[in-house]
């Protein structure tokens, strides 16, 4: 059992190092990964996003699911959909003084790439851990996408 645990920890460490994340802290039921280039958290938990939304925080929430994965009846309230392949075009319409939270289906590759691009452009951006799937699993409010 110890060998399996050590092996798993070793593989996780390698995965984190090769993706640029070396500070991986588990706090309660949520994980926070820190980007070593900026020192800022790369992601936000569902719990923390719910809390920010309930206090009226001035967030810009962007749904970056690929068009083939987009379900217009299942979006986070106040979110707007943007094509993840056109970040440089739609980022111009965002307010750099307000934090940005992006989400895709599971909170991995698509949203991570968008967060990286937004940060390179000077935005304070995070991805939602687990994406819309985690949001729905944790009973987050959903609405219909307003176009």
Domain boundaries, position 74 = 25-137
25 contacts: CB under 8 Å, gap ≥ 6: 31, 32, 34
Whether 146 is covered by a domain: the verdict is no
Q: Is 99 inside any structural domain?
A: yes
Higher pLDDT pick, 135 / 33: 135
Residue 73's pLDDT is 93
**123 in a domain, yes or no?**
yes
Asked, for residue 11, whether it belongs to a domain, the answer is no
| Number of domains, the chain | 1
Can you say how many angstroms the Cα of residue 51 is from the centroid of all Cα atoms in its chain? 15
Task: With cut-offs at 50, 70 and 90, classify the pLDDT of residue 21.
Answer: very low
The pLDDT of residue 128: 98
| Residue 67 forms part of a structural domain | yes
pLDDT at 68 over 90: yes
Query: What CATH number does residue 74 fall under?
Result: 3.40.250.10
Does residue 103 belong to any structural domain of this protein? yes
Please check whether residue 52 lies inside any domain of the structure: yes
Residue 14 belongs to a domain:
no
């Amino acid at each position: 059992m110890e060998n399996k645990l050590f092996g798993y920890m070793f593989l996780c460490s390698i995965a984190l190092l090769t993706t640029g994340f070396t500070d991986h802290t588990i706090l309660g039921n949520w994980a926070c990964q820190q980007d070593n280039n900026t020192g800022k958290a790369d992601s936000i938990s569902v719990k923390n996003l719910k809390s920010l939304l309930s206090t009226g925080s001035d967030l810009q929430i962007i749904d970056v699911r690929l068009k083939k994965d987009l379900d217009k009846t299942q979006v986070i309230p106040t979110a707007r959909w943007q094509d993840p392949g056109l970040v440089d075009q739609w980022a111009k319409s965002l307010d750099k003084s307000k934090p940005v939270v992006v989400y895709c289906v599971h909170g991995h590759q698509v949203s991570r790439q968008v967060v990286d691009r937004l940060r390179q452009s000077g935005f304070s951006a995070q991805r939602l851990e687990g994406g819309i799937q985690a949001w729905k699993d944790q009973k987050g409010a959903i609405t219909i996408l307003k176009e």
